[in-house]
Structure 1
Amino acid sequence: MVSRWIGVIIFLTVLAGSLQAKVPVQHKERLTDNWVFLRQDIGNIWEAVRPVKPGQPEELPLWQEVTLPHCFNAEDGVDPDVNYYQGPGWYKTQLSLHNPYPDGRILLEFEGAGQKTDVYIYTTKVGSHVGGYDSWNVDITDAVKAFLASDAAARFKGKIPLSIRCDNSRDAEMIPSDLSDFNVYGGIYRYLNLVYLPKVAMSGLHIDPSLAKNLKDASLKIAGTFYNPADVRTADVQVCVKDADGKIVVSRKLNGVTPLGELSLLDVKIDKPVVWDVDAPRLYTCEVTVSADGQSVTSVEKFGFRHFEFVEKGPFHLNGRRLLLRGTHRHEDHAGVGAAMTEEQMIQEMKMMKEMGVNFIRLGHYQQSEIILNLCDELGILVWEEIPWCRGGVGGENYRAQARRMLTNMITQHYNHPAVIIWGLGNENDWPNDFERYEQGEIRAFMSELNTLSHTLDACRKTAIRRCEFCSDIVDVYSPTIWAGWYRGKYTDYVNYSREAMERVKHFLHVEWGGDSHAGRHVEDKEPTKKDWSETYVVKLIDWHLKEQENMPWLTGTAYWPFKDFSTPVRPENPVPYVNQKGVIERDFTKKESFYVFQSYWAIAPMVHIYGHSQAVRWGGENERKEVLVYSNCKEVELFVNGISQGKKLRDSREFPAAGLRWEVLLNAGKNEIKAIAVAKDKTVLEDEITVRYQTEKWGEEKRLLVSSEGMDETFVLVKVSLVDEKGIPCLDSKKVIRFELAGDGELVKNQGTVSGSSKVQAANGTASIRVKRGSGKSVVAVKSENLETQFITIN
């Protein structure tokens, strides 16, 4: 069954004239500029390319200028007043082609586009793809030649009209399910590349670096698959492998080969292999040059030698030592752009994870950009990557074919990455409702099929799923749902829940844990609870989990859900509407307090952080001692309040909270200066300080909105609102919903999915804010809250 489906997938790929593997990068151009976009359908392809009539200054309907990557749902995914758009959208541009290879090939490489895509050269459909997350390519060579020979070419003055239709309409016979806790985005939301190839090239390299458990015996096998649509019969191939320092390890030349199908390029032993590790991610380089008919092109791939093992009912080992997997999750999602993150934003995000101390990531819940996988290789972050079979049961044959195809593409395209250790086959597949028929037996059968397919394509890596108990025996590694302290029980139950789950399977890995926190919301309760959605509670929940994980010798590791807040259609009533707020950073990279808790347990670089940077005001009675927590990985910390030492404390991760770096202090009514001085193991001294106002006045019910503004720079103004009682005392526990509206020349910076970037947001400690982009003239911002008088402020 499996081999039959692999053959079918390969056959359909060839039939479609597209490559599902990576293409060489020597002559690759990102197509980012000079695009126009229409967020609706058109009558036919002629409507996209027809000439504009004399006297008709604009096309109808109206297209807007955009750059790629671009997402249909850059803002409406978190708009509090609409359902996010799910439907067709069109992109078009005109290509200027300069192929350096005479009679060479011209390809379009899609790094990802959602969710169904059709590609046209002029009026000719040249390719289609179903699935929003795997990369794919379309050869447009023949269509370009045909267009240039047509009568229509003169009108475009040597340029090639390219039109692309993307569609993220709801479709139960596609994965992922629309029941998923994330938006199924539409658009060309990853990079689109124009690629020039000679007559013969490599369509993919398959690199097998094998490292024995002793870390001394290593072998290397390399195979390549040719792309040869012109049916050239003779080519020369040069293979060169370099170590992390650029020194040639082995090279080989194969002359006069027939460049058809797959060819074994190398099968050698490697002396003294340099090991890839999370702390020292040393990468080898493979360069394969194909030459034919006087043309050549080089394919380059990175790879690494490493050995890993999941001990049965025990820990995880990397390169012969126990490694506690300290992980998180990533969604392809960011403020203001939706899924269309730039490479610079991806780099910033992954570096922030490494700064936090992450050595493992689950890419949920779909294949992600090659850029992310490269960064994981380079930074030393182990990977669980999965296909988007997520919730809703299992559909018909088209549904299953897409899942098989996407699993095949994911493994084929990301096989060479040493960071990858797990292929995920599904998520929460016990979630019914997409279809009237829901049978566990069908899901088990299909899960078994995917498991076999995965091991056929890759015999070395493990398979895994999360939360589908009746399939837990099928895969190699299983993660149950636990969520101690959030969806279930108390966080102090965490170890017992985990041990019970571990004992039911061979290999246990705990992914998804944590809780929601509304950035800037804090409480003064001695025992905060989850009902507040406060940073105070979530910081202690995380603190407890991390403390316990350090003392669970059988634990493979965990992955906190997620690293960054992200948009979701199923959470409209959250404090920031349509945002899953469990991240340790906001959707715009703003760090929450919990980021520093992770650092204090996981980070290598010395750090110190006083809890409460986002809490401008604390409250309580006069002479009431208040808890001050300091999160640090240094051995000793001294705390000062208003210049007076509160004593030194030694860090002990067995203590809770804050590994014992906890003080009960007296604060003065009004302004207080709090400073922490930490001493690292190497005697380095670090400092952190905050200023906090202490409020002793009691408040009553919210009666008024106090609105103010402050200039941030020449472009932006911050509008702030505070809820106060009838005496004007700030109501520091208020969670009332605030609405912002604007009339005039300026613009609200809204639909960002952040606490200061939403036109509708719950107050955090009785306050809310939003940025306003200045206009050329005057703007008036209205601030509203139910049962309170609307307030106005003018922005010049």
Structure 2
Amino acid sequence: MRILLAALLIVGFSVSSMARQSTKLMSDWSFYKGDVAGAENPTVDDSGWQKLSLPHSWGWEEAQLGKNYYRGPGWYRRALPVGSAAMGRRYFVRFAGAGSVADVYVNGKSLGQHRGAFGAFCFEITGSLSTNGSANVLAVRVSNAAQPDLAPISGDFCVFGGLYRTVELIETADVNFTPTDHGSPGVAWLQTKVSGQEAVLDVKAQVSNGARSDQPLTLVATVLDAAGKVVSTEQQAITFKPMITVPVALRVTVPSPRLWNGRKDPYLYRAVVELRSTGGELVDSVEQPLGLRYYAIDNAKGFFLNGQPYHLHGVNRHQDRWNQGWALSPADEELDVAIIKEMGATVVRCSHYQQSDYFVSLCDQAGLLVWAELSQVDRVGADPRFPETSRHQLLDLIRQ
């Protein structure tokens, strides 16, 4: 049975699956700098607004001249490339970052608010899509105005505004690894015990059943090497009750793992978690890179990676560019990592806030250790909401 399952997995990884689809929403945006009453309404005339593509940021125009920069609202609007919701399908919009408070609407209906300039967030839009085939309009109010409950309260860097990272439309089956769990993939691989002999991994996932009936499925967790060969796989049959999201878990053991060893050998496995029907059809899948390692800190002897002394020397990195602010392209992020590598660094401090998934993934590939932190700088907010807002930001950082 295990041989057959492995064969099915290899076939599944070699073809394009229709179970989950992602479409980047980077072009065809209309933007207005300032507030507009009722801008969430799909019938609002935005023909006179600025036309632009993402990533987009504001405030840098004044800041880089040494002037006080704009801290206030701006509106973004665009049509979604989807009509009425298809039977058995669900739709989500995921934002990789918006500075600093984002209110999101589809067809005038509020999906919710995200507070925090640096973490990703995601809303389900299935129930807000048109039912008559008319265009679906996504509207986002973003504000980088200072907030008493929102870090950073102070600091020696600018908090620019805008949709400055990727925005994507995600389409899934009725049952999925939920993308709404703090904007995370809905799947986490916990490295419970790692050594040169074996790596014990606990897979934790949040599975959402949007169907109105029980869904008997098989949860499959697989680790592949860099060449695509299956090195370990486990599965479990689970029946998911209707209209709820539940946590599920599975343990996977990798024998004699090749460890991620920093700049010396930044080896990454591929970690794949799937939901399959009783007939073996792929329902949903999430793939992530996986670097297996263990570490320790000794007050007298310093940092140890995989049982060996490892010298940490590196840089603080901000996510900005001249004439761009926070609106960095993938090429910008790649150049930053290339420069950091050329300097001979072994570690990067993401100062003073959560940085993009793409930047962190580049560091993983380059063998750079990452120091991640929240945007708590100098002062803790006196507002009674500050601790809860900060806790939410910390969950964003951990789960993403």
User: TM-score category by the smaller chain?
Assistant: 0.7 to 0.9
- Answering whether residue 174 of structure 2 is matched by residue 187 of structure 1, we say no
C-alpha spacing 1:25/1:393, structure 2 compared with 1 (3 Å) = farther
Closer, same or farther: CA 252–102 of 1 in aligned 2, 3 Å: farther
Is 1:63 aligned with 2:45? no
- Structure 2 vs 1, CA of residues 343 and 26 (structure 1 numbering), >3 Å: closer, same or farther? farther
- Indicate the RMSD between aligned Cα atoms, in angstroms: 2.3
- The structure richer in strand per residue is 2
- Map 1:398-547 → 2, pairs under 5 A: 398-413=385-400
**CA 1:363–1:138: 2 relative to 1, 3 Å:** same
Shift of 1:232: 4.6
CA distance in 1 between partners of 2:122 and 2:105 (Å): 13
| Residues 102/170 of structure 1: CA separation in 2 closer, same or farther (3 Å cut) | same
Within-5 A mapping of 1:284-323: 284-292=269-277, 296-323=283-310
Q: Could you tell me which residue of structure 1 aligns to residue 356 of structure 2? A: 369
Give the direction of change, closer, same or farther, for the CA distance of 1:297–1:358 in structure 2 (3 Å limit): same
> Runs (4+) of structure 1 moved beyond 6 Å?
98-101
State which of 72, 76, 84 in structure 1 corresponds to 2:62: 76
The aligned counterpart of 1:104 is 89
Residues of 1 paired with 2:294 and 2:221: CA distance?
25
User: RCO higher in 1 or 2 (8 Å CA, sep ≥ 6)?
Assistant: 2
Counterpart CA distance in 1 for 2:74 and 2:80 is 20
Match of 1:169 among 145, 155, 171: 145
Sequence identity (%): 27
- Answering whether residue 33 of structure 2 is matched by residue 39 of structure 1, we say yes
Equivalent residue for 1:95?
Answer: 80
- The number of residue pairs the alignment matches comes to 369
Is contact 2:203–2:221 with CA below 8 Å preserved after alignment?
no
SS of 1:376's equivalent in the other structure is helix
Counterparts in 2 of 1:26 and 1:229: CA distance versus 1, 3 Å: closer
Structure 2 unaligned regions, length at least 5: 1-17, 179-185
Please report how far the alpha carbon of residue 398 of structure 1 lies from its aligned counterpart in structure 2 after TM superposition: 1.4
Tell me if structure 2 keeps the 8 A contact 1:243–1:285: yes
For 1:671, the equivalent position in structure 2 comes to none
Task: Indicate how the Cα distance of structure 1 residues 243 and 100 shifts in structure 2: closer, same or farther if over 3 A, else same.
Answer: farther
> When the two structures are superposed, what TM-score results if normalisation uses the length of structure 2?
0.86
Return closer, same or farther for 1:368/1:232 CA change in 2, 3 Å cut-off.
Answer: farther
TM-score by length of 1: 0.44
Residue 223 in structure 1 maps to residue 198 in structure 2: no
The 8 Å contact of residues 275 and 304 in structure 1, kept in 2 or not, is answered as yes
- Aligned equivalents of 2:146, 2:194: Cα separation in 1: 48
1:200 partnered with 2:175: yes
> Counterpart of 2:148 in structure 1: which amino acid?
A
Structure 1 unaligned residues grouped into runs of 5+:
1-23, 53-57, 414-796
2:318 corresponds in structure 1 to 331
Say if 2:96 is the partner of 1:115: no
Q: Where do 1:317-396 residues align within 5 Å?
A: 317-396=304-383
Cα offsets for 1:426-465 (capped at 9, x unmatched): xxxxxxxxxxxxxxxxxxxxxxxxxxxxxxxxxxxxxxxx
2:240 pairs with one of 258, 263, 267: 258
Return the letter of the residue paired with 2:151. I
Residues in 2 aligned to 1:171 and 1:51: alpha-carbon distance in whole angstroms: 28
Report the CA distance between 1:227 and its aligned residue: 2.2
Mapped pair 1:239 → 2:221 = yes
Give the Cα–Cα distance (whole angstroms) in 1 for the partners of residues 385 and 219 of structure 2: 39
Measure the CA separation in 1 of the matches of 2:269 and 2:390: 32
* Distance in 2, Cα, partners of 1:200 & 1:39: 39
CA shift digits 1:724-760 (9 cap, x unpaired): xxxxxxxxxxxxxxxxxxxxxxxxxxxxxxxxxxxxx
Q: Report the AA paired with residue 239 of structure 2.
A: V
C-alpha offsets along residues 166-192 of structure 1, whole Å, 9 cap, x if unaligned?
011122321111x31111111101111
Q: Distance in 1 between matches of 2:90 and 2:49?
A: 31
1:509 equivalent in structure 2: none
Does the Cα contact within 8 Å between 1:238 and 1:289 map onto a contact in 2?
yes
